[in-house]
Amino acid sequence: MRAALVKYSGRRIGNHRAVWFESTFESTLERYYNTGDICVYDSTLRLLNYTSGTEVNIDEPVSEEAVARIKASCDFILLRGSNYIHEEMDWGHFLAWIEALDMPVLCIGVGAQAEQERPIILPTEHRRVWQAIADRTPSIGVRGAFSAETLHRNGIHNVEIVGCPSVFRGLDRDLKLRHAPDGPKRVTFSLRREIGSTYAVDPVAFAATQKRIIAKLDLVSDLYLSCHGEPEEKAFFFRAPRHMEAARAKLVAEGWFDETTGQTLNRLYESRLYYVGAPGDYDVYAPQFDAALGYRVHAVLPAVAVGVPGVLFSYDTRSRELAETFDLPIFSPEAFERQTLAQALAPARFDRFQALFPERYDRMKAFIEKNGVKTRM
């Protein structure tokens, strides 16, 4: 099967790996890009056994020449999973491309995004996009119940809950989590300063709570931090003196390095901050830890995929939905702070995840095959 790749994030290395688009070091250092999108794209490519891929830029208008070329070289459209189901989504010219190509569409792990669970009523043009997709697939693969309910509410009913491909990126149906015998000691915490109203009801409280948790973890564990796209953190990771100076000034001015936790954060940034530049890098980084937690879903899920117990924080619909879909531990920050690290990551909390993982792995595999595409699972 040959794929027409839309909403691709990064460039492919072969058919089954993805990294960020080719760029200069200056661009890498100074610009923000979301490594979570690359992880989902990379994970999706790992699952599929397709023979070739052609990138289709849906921000460009449809042309007869492009349609003829893609129809001659592709058999289906692949839409990678992301937070597409919300009121502000920009679909570019995707509807016109779907109608012009008139091919099967494979969607894996798409999701609704909001700061809290609430009815999302999509604009008419958005519903037309989802209806066009629904007309060309046996079922749309969504990440969880909230996303399924949102599509149902908007008139799209052939949906199936499959979770996120990032949990299955290890291609190991018999995955076993490795629990440290005496509780977690070495811990990686994923930062998220990039925040908006669709991720948290109160962004100021979100930042303050995150900093407080990091400071407490630093007292009770061998703590490392991971960053996932923000330029200021990359300045520290690459130890670029002028960029570090500017980044530190900005973090102080914005209150991230404050009087309470700023000293601790600055020390961790200077000596224990890892930048996840590519999903394959994280596959090497994560197994060095007893546990992965933090505010980046696509730092916790890929860690779980390589056998590291992971805990999610409940701060938006996406984190809650994925924890529910996979039966992973999830805590409000307040609930997490009321217990020890060993209690939060007790092996018993992962019993349902472990017991049901083979069944969920099989469900994802069957879903892809139902859409007429072979898998590597």
Please tell me the predicted confidence (pLDDT) of residue 200.
Answer: 59
Please tell me the predicted confidence (pLDDT) of residue 203.
Answer: 74
Please tell me the predicted confidence (pLDDT) of residue 286.
Answer: 98
CA dist 126 and 71 (Å) reads: 24
Instruction: Give Dmax over CA atoms of the chain in angstroms.
Output: 63
Please tell me the predicted confidence (pLDDT) of residue 197.
Answer: 56
Q: Inform me whether the pLDDT recorded for 258 exceeds 90.
A: yes
Q: What is the mean pLDDT of residues 350-357?
A: 98
Please tell me the predicted confidence (pLDDT) of residue 331.
Answer: 94
Please tell me the predicted confidence (pLDDT) of residue 201.
Answer: 59
CA-wise closest residue to 327 among 351, 363, 346:
351
Please tell me the predicted confidence (pLDDT) of residue 263.
Answer: 96
Q: Inform me whether the pLDDT recorded for 28 exceeds 60.
A: yes
Please tell me the predicted confidence (pLDDT) of residue 304.
Answer: 98
Which range, of 90-94, 190-194, 269-273, 278-282, averages the lowest pLDDT?
A: 190-194
CA dist 269 and 30 (Å) reads: 17
Q: What is the mean pLDDT of residues 229-248?
A: 96
Reported as half-sphere exposure (CB side, CA atoms, 13 A), residue 348 has a value of 2
Residue 275 is given by DSSP the state E
Q: What is the mean pLDDT of residues 339-351?
A: 97
pLDDT digits (tens, 9 = 90+) for 157-204: 999 999 999 999 999 999 999 999 999 999 999 999 876 655 555 778
pLDDT digits (tens, 9 = 90+) for 115-168: 778 899 999 999 999 999 999 999 999 999 999 999 999 999 999 999 999 999
Please tell me the predicted confidence (pLDDT) of residue 314.
Answer: 87
Q: What is the mean pLDDT of residues 325-343?
A: 95
Please tell me the predicted confidence (pLDDT) of residue 173.
Answer: 98
Q: Inform me whether the pLDDT recorded for 222 exceeds 90.
A: yes
Q: What is the mean pLDDT of residues 52-61?
A: 96
**Do the Cβ atoms of 74 and 3 come closer than 8 Å?**
yes
Domains of the chain, first to last: 2-171+359-370 (3.40.50), 186-355 (3.40.50)
Mean pLDDT of the chain: 95
β-strands 2-6, 273-275 pairing: unpaired
Q: What is the mean pLDDT of residues 36-44?
A: 95
